Structure 1
């Protein structure tokens, strides 16, 4: 066999062997890529994303798109070839598996956590939007979010119970519950004053504050680690609104759509178009006060937004640094820290007065 032919054959066989090795060698990485975007002013699967009842609404044009990121599942075993392809791609990011699924979190656990965060983000979006508009009638209360199986609270407290007081001390924020319980020693009794979840749900449907209360006495258990007293619940917040606001979006999780939901609500409740008919996308968590927080996968979201047609992208201030590392052509990254920042920026965009927009990557 001629030397040149033998060399080419050996090289081909080596390349084939490397490709095979790349397929079969598993690596501890996951991949993030741009996900779909959805206009919060429009429909999804034939239904309005935001539906408001018992209150005057106005037609809203343009786009206020929330953005998403696709990630490989917790059980997906990435091979070396896929990892190399992801590292070389401009539209994907390869990250350590534990970044997306810390402490061995399963797919089911991650999905449940994302669903809870998504639900909470919707509630905060409603509160922030109505506060931005100065709408009266919004009230907040502390509730039982989850009950740990096998804990002292199981069967005695339930998700949705309103927590009025602990040992007679009023509860005004979720963190108050843990502070009051840990004043007890493990094995001691602690008294909860609650409104049962069923009554709270009926009151919420009627847009009124829940009434009536009952006492529940629990014997605290010892927490792992420092052994402080626990009862086995996680406290959260729930709200009563002056009219019905329903947000429906299937197969989406996490808290990062909060800002765009809030802006969608504001647009539907005010005359005219908040965007001036422009295509605006964005992301960011939001709390009850209207503060916008950072999210993950910002570069994937800007890529997805631009591919969908967005010209402007509302970017949490804390994400500006990483977002500015790769800005898709034709997309302006607008820096926002609050819902008020976002509405003011949209006012400028709608008027075409964009010279003074606070932009990521610019002083």
Structure 2
């Protein structure tokens, strides 16, 4: 196929990560569907196309001809019909909407994206059902779904996602397609500085005085203890326990004992540290937990990338960003004492600076967190269209 002259549809389109990737290869979007109003507004603003369609209510015969179907669909459990092994029903799931469109249109190429655990979801049954249905329609697939992260393509973000690629070819449906990932991967990862703005940004992105206080205390803690490689989460509430609580599960007892041992090995310092910080009484419960995952490459928390997570405050090396998974976990750049801006999140997902994000800060963070990475899709689509 001439990759400069093809048509595609964009299902569960969000803010258009697939659209951005395929249009950059010369594709024309002929149909898009989304039900989130904030996403619909952003999509329309950037592409001048309405995605305001609930795919469950769209007649597949009304969808225009297209060469490529793209979809980042939710991972849902399929019901088993009766007790017959291998007999499944996709009705009531959003994959069914993809299935019925493909059965009618026999779209030449499919590019589907999902969360990593799709492969193991429902004890492997979810992937088995998807594979069997796509084979039944007439698609050649990779032997297993591709598990890819932007960092494999030089983008400084670790974010594993599953990609299912298919080519309509009923005669050879049992013959797998091969995607030469090694040819696309880059040996060197771009520095995180490539996505950062190095001028002062809007005040709303800077951490609060309380957050500075909490992070400053944990920075003092790390610098003050003897151990510099900590292979377990630090739970300050257990420092002064003599033994782990009996009712704890075995795995938790191990962690508690390690915290007790850490305290005993640094007792004088930790006692002073607790007194100086009022026994952490002003800390939110999750901020009394600390995870150092930066090895010995950095000496200070402020040199790392920091996340406020439900499991505690996590510090990582400043060479790659964690996945943009939740609004409250947007990474903090230690040396700048601020969170990633919306524009920086857009760059992490390979959107161009010309892209217009939502004016709603929380919505924009969520949208980029849910989006596919534009460059990863672009690499895959380009290979698929030029090889098959």
Higher relative contact order (CA 8 A, sep 6+): 1
Question: What is the TM-score when the length of structure 1 is the normalising length?
Answer: 0.26
More strand by share: 1
More helix by share: 2
